[in-house]
Amino acid sequence: MEHDTDLVARLRDGDEDAFVTLVNRYNGSLLRLARAYVPSQAVAEEAVQETWMGVVRGVDRFEGRSSFRTWLFHILINRATTAGGREHRNLPFEEESSPAVDPSRFNRAGAWTEPVPTWVTDADDRLVAATWSKTLKEALDELPARQRTIVILRDVEGLASEDVCRVLGISEGNQRVLLHRGRSRLRTMLETQLAVRGR
């Protein structure tokens, strides 16, 4: 697979195939991330299209101080924030006075007192697990916007914490707190769903 750096160099030279390859590689990720900011799929698609136009217009100014993917996500977030604002949806940094998860579920070292049960990997269980993607998406959609964005960037897209901080313009401490809260809420929601389905 051709590296992003090579594709960006070809794109600078006007190579349309390089652009198509980048779109195929990242369009799904951009749509997922845009949905964390905007209220509808149509607005998300518009933000993604504007992002790709921004890439074409700005590729000559891309200096490579971050990865192409980090730069791309940064552009998308700017576009989606603007689009979300037009749709009367904003993303405040949520200050919460109550913990996302009951503190008694953690030991003194901060680890879960009861770890998540491991999945059994026989064929039937893999089929059942595949049905959980909808439940997981619904749980992600219920997270506060910043937590959802950080969980998507870290756990779905695989960005390193420093790249997430760069993309969102937040401190490492804020990123850690939001990620912990988002993951904790997801776990609680999924445990509730498991308990309901297990009845």
CATH of the domain at 82: 1.10.1740.10
Half-sphere exposure in the Cβ direction for 169 (13 Å, CA): 5
Quote the pLDDT of residue 104.
Answer: 66
Which pLDDT tens digits describe the chain residue by residue (199 residues)?
A: 899 999 999 999 999 999 999 999 999 999 999 988 888 889 999 999 999 999 999 999 999 889 999 999 999 999 988 876 655 434 444 444 455 556 666 666 655 566 555 444 444 454 555 556 777 888 888 888 889 999 999 988 999 999 999 999 999 999 999 999 999 988 888 888 766 665 5
- Could you tell me where the DSSP H helices lie in the chain? 4-12, 16-34, 41-58, 68-86, 123-130, 132-142, 145-151, 161-168, 172-197
User: Hey, what are 198's tokens?
Assistant: 């297990």
Q: What pLDDT, on the 0 to 100 scale, is given for residue 103? A: 60
User: 145 with 37: CB under 8 angstroms?
Assistant: yes
Which pLDDT score is estimated for 90?
40
Would residue 128 count as lying in a domain?
yes
> Would residue 11 count as lying in a domain?
yes
Q: What is the CATH number of the domain that holds 173?
A: 1.10.10.10
Q: Count how many domains the chain has.
A: 2
pLDDT of res. 102: 60
Domain housing 43:
4-86
Please give the pLDDT value at position 171.
Answer: 93
